Amino acid sequence: MRRQLTTRERMLLALLGVILLASGYMLLFYMPLTAERDRCLGEAESCRAEIEAAQLRLEEKRRMERELEDLFSAGEPPRSIADYDNLQPVMFELNSILASTQDYRLSFSTVDASQAIVRRSISMSFTTGTYESAKAVLQQLHDSAFRCMLDSVNVSVGQGEQDAVSVSGNIVFFEYQAEPKAPAA
């Protein structure tokens, strides 16, 4: 039996030791540290993205606050949207505005209550004596205490002895509903 290792065997054992040390370092230290570093870099990047998103939201909030301040400081406060089922006050408002006309006709459509903002469509027609009075009625409807939109307005001026002005169109009143109703199936 041989008791001494040859130089070649020692060199191979030393090379095996170096390989084992390098492999152990790679497996036990370098790879876990690299994975941890990559994870921390990913977290830092997601934090930067969250900070940028928060800054954008903050800038948008400040812009909206400035707009609100400008809106409320501009004299007359803005009108709000009435709560849902505001039909009776709307009818009183329409009657008071249209009372100055010679005659008027209203036709109510189905209320669209499928969203938070309810749309109440009313087809209307009225007759006045002059163009100025028709314009004044339309302006009063536009400036109504309740949020509304005039749509498809047609104005026709009569000819002959009776210079009556006939106006027809649609007016949509908007109302707020906290919980929208599901559409009927």
List, as one string, the DSSP characters of 62-116.
HHHHHHHHHHHHSSSPPPPPEES--HHHHHHHHHHHHTTSSEEEEEE---B-SSS
**Residue 75 above 90 pLDDT?**
no
pLDDT at 184: 54
Taken as a whole, the chain contains a residue count of 185
Higher pLDDT, 135 or 144: 135
With 0-12 / 13-18 / 19 or more C-beta atoms within 10 angstroms meaning exposed / middle / buried, residue 39 is exposed
Given a cut of 60, whether residue 108 has pLDDT beyond it is yes
Q: Check residues 14 and 164 and name the one with the higher pLDDT.
A: 14
123, 170 Cβ separation under 8 angstroms = yes
Over residues 133-154, the mean pLDDT reads: 86
Q: Is the pLDDT of residue 51 over 80?
A: yes
Task: Look up tokens 């409320």; give the residue.
Answer: 72
Is the pLDDT at 138 greater than 80, yes or no? yes
Q: pLDDT: is 73 or 12 the higher one?
A: 12
The mean per-residue pLDDT over the stretch 132-145 comes to: 87
Residue 180 has pLDDT above 70, yes or no: no
Q: How confident is the model at residue 77 (pLDDT cuts 50, 70, 90)?
A: low
Residue 124 has pLDDT above 80, yes or no: yes
List Cα–Cα distances, 85 to 13, 82, 109, 121, 184, in angstroms. 92, 9, 14, 13, 18
Do 129 and 165 form a contact (C-beta atoms < 8 A)? yes
What angle separates helix 131-142 from helix 87-98, to the nearest 10 degrees? 160
Cα 148 to Cα 97: distance, rounded to the nearest angstrom: 14
